[in-house]
Structure 1
Amino acid sequence: MYMIEYKKLNQAQNETHLIALLSEKQEEEKNIPAEENTPFSLALYDNDFYIGGITANKWMNETHISLLAINKEYRGKGYGTELLKKAEDFASASGTKLITINTQDYQAKTFYEQYGYQVFGQLKDTPFIGTTKYFLVKRI
């Protein structure tokens, strides 16, 4: 008789196991072998003062930009644009066909739209009541 039980597991370890299971299913169903995720991370400093950065993850033919932020005293000076372009260069050089990102209505939706990103979905009242999360994509 099996002893099935729920156990807490470190998130990184659990994600490793889950990715292996999902990759196995992908290969079984689509006959396309999974590939390793390729992380991308850049930080921007003014001398030793951290002013912002960007993180992304490339997997298969998609790069997802996870985070992009600039210290408010440095906004409007082109640093966000430079970081976005560097992430797009990374995506293009690594064979990506599309880039995705999500943002809140009070964050950078119009910023991304001016660089060719298009809204493909939205969720109202998330992550809190009175705000909307937008999901954007850019095909490259």
Structure 2
Amino acid sequence: MLDYKSLNQKENETNLIKLLSENQEEEKNVPAEKNLPFSLALYDNELYIGGITANKWMNATHISLLAINKNYRGKGYGLQLLKKAETFAIDSGSSLITINTQDYQAKNFYEKYGYQVFGQLVDTPFIGTTKYYLVKRI
């Protein structure tokens, strides 16, 4: 009998990745690769002021989150974090980096540093805003 059960997200993701990796190997004859995480935090003395997280898988790195405390914006810290993530991507063998952002966040910032919009969703994640998907080939 089939049964739907709640499962810890981390455990469920591990199981799903295994199933998807097996399928990839069968269908494309390309061995699965482990996800390689990247995470940096930025502090002013003991005050957390921002950071960046990313994951490298196969030939791509995806920047998950990048944020700087509003009192520290415009001073180059976001660019420094972005460049460190790009170095991580290059050093780990990625050929591209992806990121998504909202229209009221950092779209222009990413475009200024070579990222190009490849998709967008209007009224996402809420009505009146647009989510942009960007890529940079490295």
TM range (shorter): over 0.9
| In structure 1, distance between residues paired with 2:112 and 2:4 | 47
Partner in structure 2 of residue 59 of structure 1:
57
C-alpha root-mean-square deviation of aligned residues, in Å? 0.3
Shift of 1:120: 0.1
Q: Mapping of 1:22-61 within 5 angstroms?
A: 22-61=20-59
Partner in structure 2 of residue 104 of structure 1:
102
1:6 maps to amino acid: Y
Partner in structure 2 of residue 121 of structure 1:
119
| In structure 1, distance between residues paired with 2:111 and 2:41 | 23
Partner in structure 1 of residue 14 of structure 2:
16
Shift of 1:102: 0.1
| In structure 2, distance between residues paired with 1:6 and 1:124 | 33
User: Unpaired runs of 5+ in structure 1?
Assistant: none
1:113 maps to amino acid: E
Given the alignment of the two structures, is residue 70 of structure 1 paired with residue 63 of structure 2, yes or no?
Answer: no
Query: TM-score, with normalisation over the residues of structure 2?
Result: 1.00
| In structure 2, distance between residues paired with 1:10 and 1:124 | 32
Query: TM-score, with normalisation over the residues of structure 1?
Result: 0.98
Q: Percent identity?
A: 81
Stretches (4+) displaced over 6 A: none
Shift of 1:127: 0.5
User: Unpaired runs of 5+ in structure 2?
Assistant: none
Shift of 1:34: 0.4
Corresponding pairs, count = 138
Partner in structure 2 of residue 85 of structure 1:
83
1:4 maps to amino acid: L
Q: Secondary structure at the match of 2:48?
A: strand
| In structure 2, distance between residues paired with 1:125 and 1:13 | 32
